[in-house]
Amino acid sequence: MGLPPKRGTRRAASRSAAFSAAVLALVTVLGSGVPAGAVSATAPGAPGMSSAWTTGAKRGVGTSTTLESKVWHTLGQGILNEVYYPRLDVPNVQDMQYVVSDGRSFTELERDATTSRILLPDSRSLRYRQVNTDRDGRYRITKTYITDPRRSVLLVRTRFEVLEGGPLRLYALYNPSLNGSGMGDSGATSGGTLVASDGEVASALAASNGFSAATSGYSGTSSDGYRDLRADHRLDNRYDRADETGNLVQTARVPVETDTTFTLALGFGGDRAAAKSAAHGALANGYGAARHEYDAGWHRYLASLDRVPESVASRGLTTQYNVAAMTLKSQEDKTYRGAFVASTSIPWGGAKNADSCCTGGYHLVWSRDLYHTATAAMALGDRAAANRALDYLLNVQWREDGSFPQNTWLDGEPHWPSLQLDEVAYPIVLAQQLGRTGDAEWTKLRKSADFIVENGPATPQERWEEESGYSPSTIAAEIAGLVTAADIARQHGDRQAARRYLATADEWQRKVTDWTFTTTGPHGDGEYYLRVDDDGDPNNGNQLCLNNGGGCHDERAVVDAGFLELVRLGVKPADDPAVLDSLSETDDRLLVRTPNGPGWYRYNHDGYGEAAGGEPYTGTGIGRLWPLLTGERGEYEIASGDSAGTHLETMARMANEGYLIPEQVWDRPSENGFVFGEGTGSATPLAWSMSQFVQLANNMDAGRNLETPDVVARRYTD
């Protein structure tokens, strides 16, 4: 794929190709890796020190809109983080950054020594730019990231400026973690290119102006190039091979002067030769041509969507809306079409060991998250994406008994083994809303509806994936699933199935309050919905032990706002007495007014978040505020006939400078390196958060919640 050549440029294109070939030859000569007279050697020290992933707090994400380029990148802390290839569930890079030295007195990582800004030079393209300025004012590094639309190559256009003092040296420090692990890599210098491999994944790092020195070694050992630089401020040990597998690091000197612009190419392939060919092909084609094609792809995508909602445009949030739309598209795999991951991140990844494959992180597919992404795609006007999502649900994740796994790798293999009944219901709701009610769909969805009838209403896990029992949010999804299934059954003339589903849904709709609404609670007037009840008796005060380090509590003491799903899905009206009774107790326990606006905890006593001192979550912690819950509250306000403008603006303000909305934001006055009302080290971007922003904006324009199934609302609330 590509842009067609303009008339009269054929000869110019030939000259350009010849020039590119000459440049490539020059790059190979300049980047021979080991200077003349140097002795090649094999790196000692394998396997090196243990490896880890990086923070889940991404400031930028990117990929081409084309299917040929099967590479995705993430940015954070002023540097490059995980890079995914050839699928979105295979991370291959811990990080890549520059090292700066004067060759005499200092050597420093740009991540640690600079202040960083991230910019979006084109508000209609996922092309991010990092501007890192030395805290001592000596240099500035400006990096702009794209992926080559024609190849699986990440291109980093770099400008290095010496701002003060004498000449400085610049080194590229690349820490691969290929094929989903950090301890299985080996590498070498090949024709001026640093190549590495682990199983069926290989990488190649090259520069448009070549490398004047290069080395491959093992992290933390005598062969580690960065360790050499720290010791002697120069790259003395040059190992052209690291043959044993381990925690590989590769270091190369980039020739620079006081103001130099060049391009790094990080290519991927099934073997080293393929990765090297891709990297050099991208350099020969040129950054400018790739950037033009990359931007044009995103421009075309945004142009294909519906008009930006007035609620967005009037508030100056168009860029935030466009980035949400592009980010959601970027979370779709290019091999398993319709597989949108929850996030291209590993929450608190710096605390997650990467020595062995395969850390799931959030680069997996949850049926529930995929439903939210698909409904957001419908709101955007991208029904094709929503249909691909349903295809994936039915053709990859659906099981023969009608159930769906808790989550899966992209090929459908389950990762976490539990069952969540809302995830069985949402595909039925999605199919009905898409009008996908033919024989092929109904054959499978009927089994899913039967599964809900036979196994509900209590669920092995509710939507927060931690507890079993009677959950208002799960029961709301089950009822919506059964009513939409009955509608499909009627279309197929299956009146018996329709009656069964509606009878069950009606019974659960009548009883959900009896099962989950306490009248003897310790908060407020004692009358409110619980987060989850173990046995359908919300007044018996049984113990609820939270499976994330949150401790054990009287189940009546633990509240969340999941009951609002009853309203969103049309199961209860917004002015239902039990709903109204529950708002004050949940707000008293869960609402925090941040500098960016109102935020809500998932539930009180939540342990899924940073520790009290700000340390990463490793099994215990303190749950922080979730921006998507601000959006859900906004949808409730719409259902109540009130304004949700504050909630939309709050979600936008909780996004970072890359316009990415996090999973969690910090919940108290700034401390431990976190900012009150801004993202933590959990997962950014979270597709569910970005979807919720898109949904809320469109619902505000419509004056109603568009994802509320009409057949459910007509039955219970209209």
| Domain extent for 238 | 60-300
Closest CA to 223 of 249, 194, 254, 205: 249
Which pLDDT value is given to residue 235?
87
Three-state secondary structure call for residue 252: strand
Strand partners, 118: 130
Three-state secondary structure call for residue 219: coil
Question: DSSP H helical segments within 82-153, as ranges?
Answer: 110-113
On whether residue 52 sits in a domain, the answer given is no
User: How many structural domains comprise the chain?
Assistant: 2
Q: For the residues of 39-64, what is the DSSP string, one character each?
A: PP-B--STT-S--B---SB-SEEE--
Phi-psi region of 361 (alpha: psi -120 to 50; beta: other; left: phi over 0): left
CA distance 242 to 183: 13
pLDDT of 3 strictly over 60: no
Tell whether 293 and 388 lie within a shared domain: no
At 245, the pLDDT band (50, 70, 90 cuts) reads: very high
On whether residue 170 sits in a domain, the answer given is yes
Phi–psi pair at 245, nearest 5 degrees: -80, 145
Tell whether 269 and 167 lie within a shared domain: yes
Three-state secondary structure call for residue 238: coil
Q: Can you say whether the dihedral through the CA atoms of 647, 651, 654, 658 is positive or negative?
A: negative
Mean pLDDT of 609-619: 95
Q: What is the CATH number of the domain that holds 394?
A: 1.50.10.10
Exposure letters 269-290 (e unless 16+ CB within 10 A, then b): beebeebbebbbbbbbbbbebb
Tell whether 325 and 294 lie within a shared domain: no
Tell whether 394 and 419 lie within a shared domain: yes
Residue-wise pLDDT for 290-347, tens only, equals: 999 999 999 999 999 999 999 999 999 999 999 999 999 999 999 999 999 999 999 9
pLDDT of 22 strictly over 60: no
CA distance 139 to 583: 54
At 718, the pLDDT band (50, 70, 90 cuts) reads: confident
On whether residue 1 sits in a domain, the answer given is no
* Last residue of one domain, picked from the residues 280, 300, 320: 300
Single out the catalytic residue among 161, 462, 565, 649: 462
CA distance 392 to 371: 11
pLDDT of 138 strictly over 90: yes
Q: What is the CATH number of the domain that holds 292?
A: 2.70.98.10
pLDDT of 673 strictly over 70: yes
Question: DSSP H helical segments within 236-339, as ranges?
Answer: 272-285, 287-303, 310-313, 318-330
Tell whether 266 and 318 lie within a shared domain: no
Which pLDDT value is given to residue 236?
74
Could you tell me if 346 and 359 are in contact, meaning their C-beta atoms sit under 8 angstroms apart? yes
CA distance 670 to 201: 42
Tell whether 680 and 699 lie within a shared domain: yes
Which pLDDT value is given to residue 541?
96
Phi–psi pair at 362, nearest 5 degrees: -105, 5
Tell whether 498 and 590 lie within a shared domain: yes
Could you tell me if 555 and 534 are in contact, meaning their C-beta atoms sit under 8 angstroms apart? yes
CA dihedral 288, 293, 296, 297 (to 10 degrees): -140
462 annotated active-site: yes
Both tokens assigned to 165: 């003092």
CA dihedral 527, 529, 531, 535 (to 10 degrees): 90
Which pLDDT value is given to residue 533?
98
Residue 472 belongs to what H/E stretch? helix 472-491
Kindly state the DSSP code that residue 454 receives in the 8-state scheme.
Answer: H
Tell whether 207 and 313 lie within a shared domain: no
Which pLDDT value is given to residue 2?
33
Q: Which residues are CB-neighbours of 283 under 8 A, at least 6 positions away? A: 23, 24, 27, 206, 208, 263, 265
On whether residue 27 sits in a domain, the answer given is no
SS (H, E, C) 618-663: CCCCCCCECHHHHHHHHHHHHHCCCCCHHHHHHHHHHCCCCCCCCC
On whether residue 146 sits in a domain, the answer given is yes
Phi–psi pair at 170, nearest 5 degrees: -125, 135
pLDDT of 462 strictly over 50: yes
On whether residue 537 sits in a domain, the answer given is yes
Answering whether pTM is above 0.85, one says yes
Percent of the chain with pLDDT over 90: 93
Which pLDDT value is given to residue 419?
98
Tell whether 295 and 313 lie within a shared domain: no
CA distance 647 to 630: 6
* Beta-strand pair 153-162/528-529: unpaired
Tell whether 607 and 548 lie within a shared domain: yes
Q: Which residues are CB-neighbours of 353 under 8 A, at least 6 positions away? A: 50, 51, 52, 359
CA distance 477 to 137: 56
CA distance 74 to 508: 44
On whether residue 5 sits in a domain, the answer given is no
At 38, the pLDDT band (50, 70, 90 cuts) reads: very low
585 annotated active-site: no
Closest CA to 502 of 550, 449, 547, 541: 449
Mean pLDDT of 503-523: 98
Tell whether 544 and 632 lie within a shared domain: yes
Could you tell me if 187 and 242 are in contact, meaning their C-beta atoms sit under 8 angstroms apart? yes
CA distance 515 to 533: 7
Q: How many CA atoms lie within 13 A of 148 on its CB side?
A: 24
Tell whether 319 and 291 lie within a shared domain: no
CA distance 474 to 458: 8
pLDDT of 39 strictly over 70: no
Both tokens assigned to 415: 């990762």
On whether residue 387 sits in a domain, the answer given is yes
